[in-house]
């Protein structure tokens, strides 16, 4: 069973989407490790080390996602998680910005998949399976 | 008269407590220097003759049980993966079993770290790492490191269950003395203490006391059953929770200031007391024990000096106390017994400092975070603000003329507002040093042990 670490990063307390993601991924047969709301990069990374997770799925809804996610890939590398997949989704930047630009910025920060507002976890399931080599 | 004799083989003293089960009270206590280097029975028999002298008669005890922290106590190494997760979980298990955690190692251990296990003469190794279903490479690497070493100490594996079979094979083919337990952190942030803790106690009784020359006392007493700190934990938990019709005291804390260490115990869930605090990090045990090896009145007196800033040292100097020489004096003369008012005053200051610093490390803390919903707090550790009772024990506290003033240093203060210390507890004094004895008695007679503690551990008011 593949482990996936999920959680809401930074000073963000939005808990509902986090529950839905946990529910859906559990239903799909994953070992979901939920670090919950108000989580730091270290919380995600430490959880991934102990559980040998192959994917960290970061949620952010309050607009500060870019600040909160900066340096996460470098920390993963330091922690020996060189091959871990990083996804981020939600309302990850402030205001109405061109999403192609936003996606580029996050990809430059080392995120493998970047999702705009309105994308649900169900929309992403096929991508997760493909990225984890399950298809 | 039915009577029990409880024995505590301490590092310095062998302490005896005689209990009359019918009267439900302590009838006499005595002590003598522990003689584990020669023959542990000698010190015990001397203490026993003193006890008979106090009683004025020789009595036949229904049962004699003992706990021990003699010959260096129970020295353990806790090995985990991530410092704040399985490593911390492993260390908490050791502390909960009454051990001294001499080594804390994480991630892949190297040859030097393996050598340090040998150098420090570790009694038991607790090997953890990985949640169930999670990382197993690290524990397997660490098991291989232990397997190829000269280590003879028992090894308890309490890590990722997926690695169990492989580790069993590695350790058994290397002919190591090993035991398999449940994972100390089966899921992220979930602490599972019992299985590994019970195994530690079992190995202590079965092997360690024998190796340390303590077991031969079992020729004349019934048995040595626990490491001393574990007996104290049992007593504290009983005193907090109560038993059957006899109510407990609720949330309580204990400070035990010794010559080498300062131990803090808390019996409380410690969940957040305020609505805007969010609990984070590894789960905390209800019965929590922390041990500060750098804070003690004699062997560790120099550590107290490190806790004082230059302004504090200057302040005491102005009042005629040279803290540098006072701490050095105690470190160099571990048998120093305070005699003058000046000595007692210095002991009080040092002891208060030990309790204050140890409290900082025991209690949970708040960290503020500004969110769109306003100010919130992360709570890491236990919220102990609502502690009902704070009990002082240990030589320096018991013999102090102002124990309340001393204990008050560890309660909530403005300068440490983010530390979740007891706010307004009642202060109690374990003046006869009975906690470990009552922990032992509680194995057979919990209700009597509880009644005695409630009678003998008395409230003290401010001076």
Partners of residue B85 in chain A, C-beta under 8 Å: 46-47, 50
Pick the CATH number of B242-433 from 3.30.420, 2.60.98, 3.90.180, 3.40.50: 3.30.420
Using CA coordinates, name the residue in chain A closest to B130: A50
Q: Shortest CB distance from A49 goes to which of B81, B371, B372? A: B81
Cβ of A50 within 8 Å of Cβ of B369? The answer is: no
Mean pLDDT for the stretch of residues A91-108: 91
Cβ of B369 within 8 Å of Cβ of A11? The answer is: yes
pLDDT per residue as tens digits for the range A87-96: 999 999 888 8
Q: Shortest CB distance from B188 goes to which of A37, A38, A50? A: A50
pTM score, whole prediction: 0.89
Q: Give catalytic residues of A, as residue numbers.
A: 12, 14
Fold of B75-204: Rossmann fold (3.40.50)
Number of structural domains found in chain A: 1
Instruction: Give the span between the Cα atoms of A98 and A28, in whole angstroms.
Output: 32
A112 touches chain B (CB under 8 A): no
**The pLDDT of residue A10:** 92
Q: In what order do the strands lie in the sheet with B277-280?
A: B277-280, B374-380, B365-371
Q: Shortest CB distance from B134 goes to which of A37, A38, A52? A: A52
- Domain range list for chain B: 3-71+212-221, 75-204, 242-433
Unique residue bearing structure tokens 């260390």: B91
pLDDT above 70 (res B342)? yes
pLDDT band at B10 (very low <50, low <70, confident <90, very high): confident
Cβ of B378 within 8 Å of Cβ of A47? The answer is: no
Mean pLDDT for the stretch of residues B57-70: 93
pLDDT per residue as tens digits for the range B261-320: 999 999 999 999 988 898 888 899 999 999 998 999 998 999 999 999 999 999 999 999
B355, B263 in Cβ contact below 8 A? no
Domain enclosing residue A66, as ranges: 3-131
pLDDT band at B16 (very low <50, low <70, confident <90, very high): very high
What CATH number corresponds to the domain at position A107? 3.40.50.280
pLDDT per residue as tens digits for the range B65-90: 999 988 888 999 999 999 989 999 99
Partners of residue A11 in chain B, C-beta under 8 Å: 369-372, 376
pLDDT band at B463 (very low <50, low <70, confident <90, very high): low
A2 touches chain B (CB under 8 A): no
Unique residue bearing structure tokens 């006899």: B246
Count of H-run helices and E-run strands, chain B = 16, 21
Cβ of A31 within 8 Å of Cβ of B85? The answer is: no
B370 touches chain A (CB under 8 A): yes
Contact residues for A109 (Cβ-Cβ < 8 A; gap 6+):
A69, A70, A71, A72, A73
Which of B168, B331, B354, B349 has its CA nearest to residue B261? Answer: B354
Distance (Å) of CA B158 to CA A27, B35, B87, B287: 29, 35, 11, 20
pLDDT band at B53 (very low <50, low <70, confident <90, very high): very high
Using CA coordinates, name the residue in chain B closest to A46: B82
Q: How far does the CA of residue A5 sit from the closest CA of chain B (Å)?
A: 10
Pairing, β B389-393 against β B426-429: parallel
Contact residues for B198 (Cβ-Cβ < 8 A; gap 6+):
none
Using CA coordinates, name the residue in chain A closest to B185: A50
- Helix runs in B341-434, H state only: 341-362, 395-398, 403-408
Instruction: Give the span between the Cα atoms of B241 and B250, in whole angstroms.
Output: 6
Which of B297, B329, B318 has its CA nearest to residue B395? Answer: B297
Q: Is the ipTM of this complex over 0.85?
A: no
Partners of residue B131 in chain A, C-beta under 8 Å: 33, 50-51
Cβ of A3 within 8 Å of Cβ of B133? The answer is: yes
Unique residue bearing structure tokens 């062997």: B299
Architecture of domain B3-71+212-221: 2-Layer Sandwich (3.30)
**The pLDDT of residue B331:** 93
Task: Please tell me if the domain spanning B3-71+212-221 has the same topology as the one spanning B242-433.
Answer: yes
Instruction: Give the span between the Cα atoms of A58 and B177, in whole angstroms.
Output: 44
pLDDT per residue as tens digits for the range A7-26: 999 988 889 999 999 999 99
């Amino acid at each position: 069973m593949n482990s996936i670490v999920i959680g809401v990063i930074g000073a963000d307390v939005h808990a509902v989407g986090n529950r839905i993601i946990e529910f859906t991924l559990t239903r799909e047969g994953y070992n979901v490790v939920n670090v919950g709301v108000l989580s730091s990069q270290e919380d995600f990374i430490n959880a991934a080390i102990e559980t040998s997770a192959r994917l960290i799925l970061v949620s952010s809804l309050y607009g500060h996602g870019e600040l909160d996610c900066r340096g996460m890939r470098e920390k993963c590398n330091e922690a020996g998680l060189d091959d871990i997949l990083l996804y981020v989704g939600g309302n990850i930047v402030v205001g109405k910005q061109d999403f192609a630009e936003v996606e580029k910025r996050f990809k430059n920060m080392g995120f493998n998949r970047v999702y705009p507002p309105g994308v649900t976890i169900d929309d992403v399931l096929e991508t997760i399976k493909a990225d984890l080599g399950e298809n | 008269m039915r009577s029990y004799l409880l024995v505590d083989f301490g590092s310095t003293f062998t302490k005896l407590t005689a209990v009359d089960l019918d009267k439900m009270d302590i009838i006499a206590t005595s002590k003598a220097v522990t003689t584990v280097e020669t023959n542990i029975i000698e010190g015990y028999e001397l203490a026993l003759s003193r006890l008979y002298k106090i009683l004025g008669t020789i009595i036949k005890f229904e049962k004699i049980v003992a706990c021990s922290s003699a010959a260096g106590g129970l020295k353990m190494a806790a090995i985990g993966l991530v410092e704040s997760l399985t490593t911390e979980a492993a260390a908490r298990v050791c502390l909960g079993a009454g051990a001294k955690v001499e080594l804390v190692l994480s991630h892949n251990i190297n040859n030097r770290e393996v050598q340090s296990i040998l150098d420090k003469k570790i009694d038991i190794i607790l090997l953890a790492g990985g949640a169930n279903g999670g990382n197993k490479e690290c524990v397997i690497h660490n098991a291989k490191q232990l397997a190829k070493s000269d280590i003879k100490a028992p090894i308890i594996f309490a890590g990722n269950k997926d690695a169990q079979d492989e580790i069993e094979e590695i350790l058994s083919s290397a002919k190591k003395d090993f035991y398999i337990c449940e994972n100390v952190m089966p899921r992220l942030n979930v602490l599972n203490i019992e299985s590994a803790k019970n195994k530690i106690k079992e190995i202590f009784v079965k092997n360690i006391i024998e190796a340390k020359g303590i077991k031969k006392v079992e020729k004349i007493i019934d048995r040595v059953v626990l490491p001393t700190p574990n007996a104290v934990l049992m007593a504290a938990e009983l005193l907090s929770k109560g038993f059957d019709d006899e109510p407990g005291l609720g949330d309580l804390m204990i400070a035990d200031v010794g010559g080498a260490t300062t131990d803090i115990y808390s019996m409380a869930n410690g969940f957040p007391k305020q609505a805007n605090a969010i609990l984070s990090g590894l789960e905390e045990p209800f019965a929590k024990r922390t041990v500060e090896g750098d804070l003690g009145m004699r062997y560790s007196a120099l550590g107290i000096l490190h806790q004082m800033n230059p302004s504090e040292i200057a302040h005491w100097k102005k009042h005629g106390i040279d803290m540098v020489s006072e701490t050095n004096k105690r470190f160099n003369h571990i048998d120093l017994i305070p005699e003058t008012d000046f000595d007692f005053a210095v002991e009080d200051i040092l002891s208060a400092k030990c309790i204050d610093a140890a409290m900082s490390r025991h209690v949970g803390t708040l960290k503020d975070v500004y969110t769109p919903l306003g100010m919130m707090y992360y709570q890491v550790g236990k919220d102990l603000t609502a502690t009902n009772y704070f009990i002082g024990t240990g030589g320096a506290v018991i013999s102090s003329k102002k124990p309340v003033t001393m204990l008050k240093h560890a309660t909530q203060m403005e300068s440490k507002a983010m530390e979740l210390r007891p706010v307004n507890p009642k202060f109690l004094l374990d003046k006869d040093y009975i906690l470990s004895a009552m922990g032992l008695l509680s194995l057979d007679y919990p209700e009597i042990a509880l009644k005695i503690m409630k009678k003998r551990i008395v409230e003290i008011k401010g001076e």
